[in-house]
Amino acid sequence: MISIPNNIVFETERLIAKKIQLSNAKELFELESKEEVVKYVTGKVLNYRETEEKLKKWITNFDYEKGFGVLILHSKKDKEFIGICGLIGDNEVGYRLLPKHWRKGFGTEVLKGLITHASNLGMKYLIAEVIKDNIASVKILEKLGFKFLRDQTCANTGMPEYVMELIVKER
């Protein structure tokens, strides 16, 4: 079991990753209502009610006490909402950022934070499923040492994707 003071799960140089709460519905809606964000994940923009339902499922279905679940990302500097990330499913890692925060190094930074978090939990490997056309995310995963495992079709979007794996080293 991990301790979650103030719901903070991990921090990076510029980001705070906290357990997501029902009070984060407005921020999550800001993310889930943007087609450019969801096109490589679910392929479906959500309305506010659908966003709230998704948030409730995430809170109910993930085991935050063991370190698994969706986390909300805020800037340390000004507490601005940046996006979400998390360890989900079978050792799967993922993140989504608001478009205004793309190309600022946050994708790399949050994945490094998730890798350290996974290492602290004793995880031996991480999996990432990434749509092939999401070139920026593919490059980040490769830069951080993820290796290609196989091709598959994304269940949510029907788009071709890579399954990539990282062997987690003790930190």
Show me where the domains of the chain are located: 5-120
- What does the pLDDT look like over 92-125, one tens digit per residue? 999 999 999 999 999 999 999 999 999 999 999 9
Of residues 42 and 106, more confidence is placed in 106
Q: Is the pLDDT of residue 11 over 70?
A: yes
Average pLDDT of the chain, as a whole number: 92
Per residue in 49-93, pLDDT tens?
999 999 999 999 888 778 889 999 999 999 999 999 999 877 999
Helix (H) or strand (E) holding 126: strand 125-131
pLDDT of 64:
79
The CATH homologous superfamily of the domain defined by 5-120: Gcn5-related N-acetyltransferase (GNAT) (3.40.630.30)
Percentage of the chain exceeding pLDDT 90: 83
> What pLDDT score was predicted for residue 154?
93
**Residue found under tokens 């925060």:** 101
Residue-by-residue DSSP string for 20-34:
--GGGHHHHHHHHT-
pLDDT exceeds 90 at position 46: yes
Looking at residue 2, its pLDDT comes to: 47
pLDDT the model gives residue 129: 96
Q: What share of the chain is helix, strand, coil (3-state, %, to 5)?
A: 35, 30, 35
Side chain identity at residue 75, one-letter code: S
Confidence of residue 170 (pLDDT cuts 50, 70, 90): low
Nearest residue to 164 via CA among 151, 149, 142, 152: 149
pTM here is 0.92
Residues 67 and 51: their CA atoms lie apart, in Å, by 23
**Is residue 1 predicted with pLDDT exceeding 50?**
no
d(CA 123, CA 27): 29
User: Looking at residue 90, what is its pLDDT?
Assistant: 77
